[in-house]
Amino acid sequence: MSAKIDSVLLIGGAGFLGHHLIQQFYDRCPGIKIHVFDIRPLSDKKASYFTFPSNEIKLFVGDLTSPEDISKAILESKCDVIVHSASPIPDVGTPELFEKVNVQGTKNIIDVSKKLRVKALIFTSSAGVVFNGADIYNVDEEWPYAEVHMDKYNETKAIAERLVKDSNDPNGLITVSIRPSGIFGPGDRQLVPGLINAAKLGQSKFQLGDNNNICDYTYAGNVADAHILAAKLALQPKEAHKVGGEVFIITNDTPIYF
């Protein structure tokens, strides 16, 4: 894989997945300039797993719903690739916030990226865009979006994914969507801490269903890997058409029974 990424802008890069993206871009793309755009700064304390030098990461603190903030970051970073992995946290955000950040914010990123001639936009979607609460097996990328979504978070992730897909331009901005399931790994603040908390509160003594439910979880490093592969392919003129406007489900291959 030969495409060289000179400069990447990681929107939502101060988050859990963001840290894995920084680490892998740092490890695998020698010489790349890594920029983080986030509404909060990078924490001084990162999990010991992460070895990237924080002082080499240029940070833009801003709101992705602001055209001015996004324009400034794109212009100053001179990024050829944007990875957009920002979202309000599912259990915490309000419907209005999901709409504003996931839908209007994603549209803002697309519009400004096109205007400023960014080459590729890699969007972190979610497997939840096809889930309506009923059992589904062996889902692939052709599976239709849920007609009724589980909640506003998943609904707005689906709308954002469609916006990203539809904005692919073979002669301009190449867009790719990556769909992970629940993500686990070093630095996780939601999944495993949530399970531990539920266990501590004695909330784990229930069985829902017949104990045959399966759920897919994805290792954070695999999710970051998928974003980097997508970014590299999107920058290769002979390969870009294979990923442009596409969606890729990222799994660990083995479903987890719970």
Contact set with ligand NAD (CB under 6 A): 12, 14-18, 38-40, 63-65, 85-89, 101, 105, 124, 126, 157, 180, 182-183, 190-191
Question: Closest separation between CB of residue 22 and ligand NAD, Å?
Answer: 11
Identify any residues that bridge with 80 across adjacent strands, giving them in sequence order.
Answer: none
Mark whether 157 is an active-site residue: yes
CB 226 within 8 A of CB 23: no
Question: Closest separation between CB of residue 240 and ligand NAD, Å?
Answer: 23
What is residue 78's three-state secondary structure?
coil
CB 217 within 8 A of CB 256: yes
Q: Which is nearer to ligand NAD, 71 or 190 (CB)?
A: 190
List the one residue out of 50, 52, 4 whose CA is nearest residue 31: 4
Distance CA 83, CA 118 (A): 11
What is residue 170's three-state secondary structure?
coil
Question: Closest separation between CB of residue 46 and ligand NAD, Å?
Answer: 12
Catalytic site residue from 107, 157, 165, 200: 157
Question: Closest separation between CB of residue 104 and ligand NAD, Å?
Answer: 10
Q: Is the dihedral of CA 96, 102, 103, 105 positive or negative?
A: positive
Residues 6 or more apart whose Cβ sits within 8 Å of residue 148: 132
State the residue number with the nearest CB to ligand NAD.
Answer: 15
The single-letter DSSP state of residue 54 is G
Q: Which is nearer to ligand NAD, 14 or 235 (CB)?
A: 14
Q: Which is nearer to ligand NAD, 3 or 159 (CB)?
A: 159
Q: Which is nearer to ligand NAD, 93 or 244 (CB)?
A: 93
Residues annotated as catalytic are: 157
